[in-house]
């Protein structure tokens, strides 16, 4: 099996710290706390478009063809959408449970959103907007597995997960339907946008590692550490993950 080649680059530049300070001004410089920012970019040099999926189940609702959603590539930037990126470091505080339920819908036979970041213990409300039977199967590793059936007349079903991990969701009735719940250990998690980019603001003082995960491209860890201290405070660091090609099955 041919393995994907990972190339990684690092950029570092000043980002207007005099006009837009990242800390409150004080008479004593000792009261200032270093706060940093990070831009994360992704790049896939070679992209192979996948053929449309033919649908045979509930075609009147789901349609007869589905465009693959597992690898979304921006031709202009060569960036990859829906890459989960996060920081790891001893100074990051755990997230507390969010009292507001998060919502995942089944609409026209697709989960929306495809990726959802939640705090541990947050209630996730799954809603079926289609007039057909759906299901949600959580393929957990660290949390207890869960499975719910969604009849068209049932308003919602709920799940929650206490331990941080990335959890695939599948629909047994419509196998092309897939989504991912990212149970975050702290607040410094993000998902890349349509350009393949993500940003972290107000990173506290400390030393961090950056990780990236994608459902096709897999898990990567950046070899360059991120240092937030008085020397780097007020500057924006930029890290880029570069894949030369897609992995071959």
Residues of the chain falling short of pLDDT 50: 1-30
What's the CA gap between 83 and 117, in Å, rounded?
12
Q: Which residue intervals of the chain are DSSP H helices?
A: 59-62
pLDDT one-digit tens code per residue, 46-75: 999 889 999 999 999 999 999 999 999 999
Fold equal for 1-93+187-249 and 94-185 = yes
In Å, how far are 6, 132, 134, 171 from 128, measured between CA atoms?
A: 39, 8, 7, 12
Provide the residue ranges of all domains of the chain, joining segments of one domain with +.
1-93+187-249, 94-185
Q: Indicate the CATH number for domain 94-185.
A: 2.60.40.420
> In this structure, are residues 169 and 111 in contact, taking their beta carbons and an 8 Å threshold?
yes
Q: Is 44 helix (H, G, I), strand (E, B) or coil?
A: strand
Tell me the longest C-alpha to C-alpha distance in the chain.
69
- Measured in whole angstroms, how far is the alpha carbon of residue 132 from the centre of its chain? 29
What's the CA gap between 183 and 237, in Å, rounded?
26
User: Integer distance in angstroms from the first to the last C-alpha of the chain?
Assistant: 7
| Whole-number pLDDT of residue 245 | 78
Q: What pTM value is reported for the model?
A: 0.85
CATH superfamily, region 1-93+187-249? Immunoglobulins (2.60.40.10)
| Whole-number pLDDT of residue 91 | 86
Four-residue CA torsion sign, 30, 21, 118, 238: negative
């Amino acid at each position: 099996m041919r393995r994907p080649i990972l190339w990684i680059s690092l950029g570092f530049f000043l980002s207007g710290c005099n006009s837009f300070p990242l800390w409150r001004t004080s008479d004593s410089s000792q009261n200032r706390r270093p706060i940093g920012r990070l831009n994360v970019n992704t790049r896939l040099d070679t992209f192979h478009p996948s053929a449309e999926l033919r649908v045979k189940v509930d075609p009147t609702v789901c349609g007869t063809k589905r465009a693959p959603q597992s690898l979304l590539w921006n031709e202009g930037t060569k960036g990859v959408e829906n890459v989960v990126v996060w920081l790891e470091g001893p100074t990051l505080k755990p997230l507390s449970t969010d009292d507001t339920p998060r919502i995942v819908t089944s609409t026209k036979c697709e989960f929306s959103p495809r990726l959802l970041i939640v705090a541990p213990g947050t209630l996730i409300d799954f809603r079926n907007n289609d007039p057909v039977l759906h299901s949600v199967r959580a393929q957990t590793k660290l949390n207890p597995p869960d499975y719910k059936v969604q009849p068209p007349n049932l308003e919602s079903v709920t799940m929650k997960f206490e331990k941080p991990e990335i959890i695939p969701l599948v629909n047994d009735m419509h196998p092309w339907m897939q989504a991912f719940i990212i149970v975050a250990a702290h607040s410094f998690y993000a998902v890349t946008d349509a350009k393949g980019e993500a940003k972290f603001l107000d990173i506290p003082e400390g030393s961090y590692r950056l990780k990236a995960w994608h459902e096709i491209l897999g898990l990567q860890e950046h070899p360059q550490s991120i240092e937030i201290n008085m020397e780097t405070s007020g500057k924006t660091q930029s890290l880029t993950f570069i894949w030369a090609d897609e992995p071959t099955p």
